């Protein structure tokens, strides 16, 4: 399994609550609508809680401000992802990117590909 992890920072004009509501109720259904064409096996949204809850843990580690959420998407393999030249997949990916620009500060939201290594569970 190949996994895309996307740490999300909201655009400055949005509250955390408004960001998370849009992400869950608008963007989530968009991703679901193109899951087959993009060959997405699994999509999970991790919504951050009130930053005060994590304040002590972050401070004890000298950590940065928390993200507003983390998106996790899985594919069976790089090869199984939508193949190059597939216009429907390219259109779907562009549609999702255009929507992301409405609520995510993309310049402050790192993403990376990885492979899970299970330690527990």
Q: Where are the domains of the chain?
A: 2-114
CB 68: neighbour CB atoms within 10 A? 24
Return the CATH fold of 2-114.
Answer: Alpha-Beta Plaits (3.30.70)
pLDDT tens sequence across 40-84:
999 999 999 887 777 778 778 887 788 999 999 999 988 877 667
- Separation between Cα atoms, residue 61 and residue 77, nearest integer Å: 35
pLDDT of residue 24: 98
Of the candidates 42, 47, 38, 45, the one whose C-alpha atom is nearest the C-alpha of residue 96 is 38
CA 1 to chain centre: 17
Q: Backbone dihedral region of 120: left (phi > 0), alpha (psi from -120 to 50 degrees) or beta?
A: beta
Q: What does each C-alpha distance from 50 to 6, 20, 59, 120 come to in angstroms?
A: 19, 12, 15, 27
Is 102's pLDDT higher than 70? yes
């Amino acid at each position: 399994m190949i996994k895309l992890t996307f740490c999300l920072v909201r655009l400055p004009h949005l509250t955390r609550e408004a960001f998370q509501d849009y992400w869950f109720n608008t963007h989530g259904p968009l991703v679901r609508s193109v899951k087959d064409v993009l060959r997405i096996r699994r999509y999970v949204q991790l919504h951050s809680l009130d930053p005060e809850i994590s304040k002590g843990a972050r401070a004890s580690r000298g950590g940065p401000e928390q993200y507003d959420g983390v998106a996790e998407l899985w594919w069976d393999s790089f090869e199984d992802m939508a193949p190059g030249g597939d216009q429907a997949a390219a259109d779907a990916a562009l549609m999702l990117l255009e929507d992301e620009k409405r609520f995510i500060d993309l310049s402050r939201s790192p993403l990376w590909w990885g492979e899970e290594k299970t330690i527990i569970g």
